[in-house]
Amino acid sequence: MWRKRTVGWLILCMVCLLLLIARLVQIQLLDTESFSKHNVNLLEESVKQRTQELVIDSGRGDFLDRNGELLTHKKLRVLVLFPFLKKIDWDAEKVAEIAGISNQALRNAVENAKKPFAFGEPYPIELTTSQMERINALKIPGVFAVEKKFERASVPAEQLIGLTGENASLLKKRYPEKELPEKTQVGVSGLEESFDEFLLPEGPTKLVYHVDGGGAPLFGINVKYVDPANPFYPVNVRTTIDQTIQQKAEELVDQYKIKKGGLVLLNIEDNSVLAMVSRPKINKKNPYEGSGITNRMLKQEIMGSVFKTVVAAAAIEHNLDDPTRIFDCTKKINGKPERKYNHGKLNFTESFARSCNRTFGELAKELQKKDPSILEEYAEKLSLIGSVGWKGEIYHTDDFRQFPNEDKGRVFLSDEARKDANFVAMSGIGQHEVRATPLAVANMMATIARGGQKEMVRAVSKIQYKNGTTMVEFPEKNLSGESISPYTAMKLQKLLREVVLNPNGTGRALSSLPYSVAGKSGTAETGKYEDGKQLHNKWFAGYFPFEKPKYALVVVNLDVKETGNTVNLIFADMVKMLYELD
């Protein structure tokens, strides 16, 4: 009996030993880079246990403004110190003297350190080039003066640029053929997402120091500098944003307390984004809480009377703009007396300047009788339907889009609405089912200012290699489809200018600005209520200077009560600011 038990125990021990060996083989040889369901890289983790390191640059590509300045990060010359300094004799007094800091503060910082750090973090003291050279000339182990990349506390155009995050499953799904560490940052919104493949890091640049279990030197006190040393990567994405204008635009939007909305500023000459502000801001602690991560400038909104520009274009090209014709603006669209906005009897030009709903409701119905799709046809001619962001072929991508989450505009959702005279009248004043993005509205203004030439909107002009040479260019491109005639564009330019020049025009408050403005206001009922009061989308869209157009600007304040004229005030301050900068 005891022999059988002994044999049984031996067999059990052998099985356990074999299982243990198999587990060790799995850990040491087979799954070293993707252990367990969490895909843990055991090689990396083992190295981390016996090293202290300071990442100087993550290796992910950067975003630059149109002048080549960093947008999301800043590079600072800082003093880096390693914890092992507390265990050796070093000339702290000399380092403190060169850096212009207290010797005691320097020693206290080292004594309290558990890992390498930049002195003064989270607000590190910046060194001059001379200070860097003098500190490094001392050749003190564990003391370095280096240029380190820091993320900005406040990123300009944060919704446009977008966010990154660690997401192992998304990383594997997006790049199944690439071997990337699971902690690799991936773009999850904005340009970070659309340009993610170009921005992926080759590897971080860091200072590494090997220690034993107690934190003592393992191979002496030499610190190793690790750098992928690729002259071409990481790349830089050169945006069209002007950082100075962007920052001032954000200050204005916040100054006027825009809670939901923002602005888009385009450079008409090359149809590129100079500034884009979206509110609410992103909650960095929880980006998906609320709607801060959403770029409202790329989302379709009810646009109200701004859409009358489309109706006016169609009316001009179908000879319905007779200057002698008089419209009864004492009545609403439905024929009932207009008590709130009783403009009296107006002609076509005055109706546009004063934004008479009756005029454009009637014109929309007359146009619909000619062709039920005519409003959509002219909305497309003015780039309000479809996407307007840059798209095209880049490398192996046939349909690369700079704005992958851009909404498309629309006029009608159904054929029934398209043929219903009442719905058509409401659509003529930008209500009912009419929607467009602020970006598309800005592009409409730029199209009119250029005499009818439709172009795609760019937020990025090129991708540059690390050495500054060009990897990919995003040239100016025309939007496909028909456009309005130069004659119609000229007539629309005059109408938009009259909005500002007319003593009763909805843009009259902008008549005395240093740049001459042409534009159109819009107040759209959203169907939402607060405290029993109807909420509105407030717009002002235009371009300037009128004589030689340079900028197209849209300001929008969403879901607000009708009181106040915030969008006109922001528009005016933007014009003044740009005039001063120019």
Pairing of β 62-64 and β 236-239: parallel
- Evaluate whether 522 touches 304 at the Cβ level (below 8 Å): yes
Catalytic residues: 305
Handedness of CA 11, 15, 20, 25 (dihedral sign): positive
Separation between Cα atoms, residue 423 and residue 376, nearest integer Å:
14
- In angstroms, the CA 322 to CA 203 distance is 67
Domain boundaries, the chain: 73-151, 243-282+293-581
Question: What CA–CA distance (Å, rounded) separates 541 from 552?
Answer: 8
The DSSP code for 86 is G
**CATH for 243-282+293-581, among 3.90.1580.10, 3.40.190.290, 3.40.710.10, 3.40.50.11030?**
3.40.710.10
Query: Which tokens go with 173?
Result: 């799904």
- φ, ψ of residue 270 to 5 degrees: the values are -115, 10
Exposure of 500 in the CB half-sphere (CA atoms within 13 A)? 24
Can you name the residues that pair with 237 across neighbouring β-strands?
63, 463
Q: What count of other Cβ atoms lies within 10 Å of the Cβ of residue 243?
A: 18
pLDDT of 237 reads: 96
| Residue 122 identity | P
Assigned CATH topology for domain 73-151: Penicillin-binding protein 2a (Domain 2) (3.90.1310)
Contacts of 548 (CB under 8 A, 6+ apart): none
The answer to whether residues 331 and 344 touch, using CB atoms and an 8 Å cutoff, is no
Tokens of 184: 């690799």
pLDDT number for residue 217: 53
Instruction: Report the distance separating Cα 248 and Cα 444, nearest Å.
Output: 24
Decide whether 73-151 matches 243-282+293-581 in CATH topology.
Answer: no
Q: How far apart are CA 124 and CA 127, in angstroms?
A: 9
518 near 547, Cβ under 8 Å? no
Structure tokens at 486: 């130069």
Q: Please report, in tens digits, the pLDDT of each residue of the chain (582 residues total).
A: 666 677 677 777 787 777 777 666 655 655 555 545 555 554 454 445 556 788 888 889 999 999 999 999 999 999 999 888 888 888 999 999 999 999 999 999 999 988 899 998 888 989 999 999 999 999 988 899 999 998 888 899 999 999 999 888 898 899 898 888 888 899 999 999 999 999 998 888 888 877 665 555 554 556 777 778 787 888 999 999 999 999 999 999 999 999 999 999 999 999 999 999 999 999 888 888 778 899 999 999 999 999 999 999 999 999 999 999 999 999 988 888 888 778 889 999 999 999 999 999 999 999 999 999 999 999 999 999 989 999 999 877 888 999 989 999 999 999 999 999 999 999 999 999 999 999 999 999 999 999 999 999 999 999 999 888 999 999 999 999 999 999 999 999 999 999 999 999 999 999 999 999 999 999 999 988 888 889 999 999 999 999 999 999 999 999 998 777 899 999 999 999 999 999
Please check whether residue 458 is in contact with residue 270, taking contact to mean a CB–CB distance below 8 angstroms. yes
Q: Cβ(23)–Cβ(30) under 8 Å?
A: no
End-to-end CA distance of the chain: 101
* Predicted pLDDT of residue 210: 73
pLDDT for 47 equals 47
Radius of gyration of the chain (CA): 31
Phi then psi dihedrals of residue 490, to 5 deg: -65, -40
The pLDDT value given to residue 28: 60
Q: Which residue has the tokens 């001063």?
A: 580
Total-model pTM? 0.88
Q: What is the largest CA-CA distance in the chain?
A: 120
Closest residue by Cα to residue 444 from 577, 568, 311:
311
Token reading at 407 = 């909404």
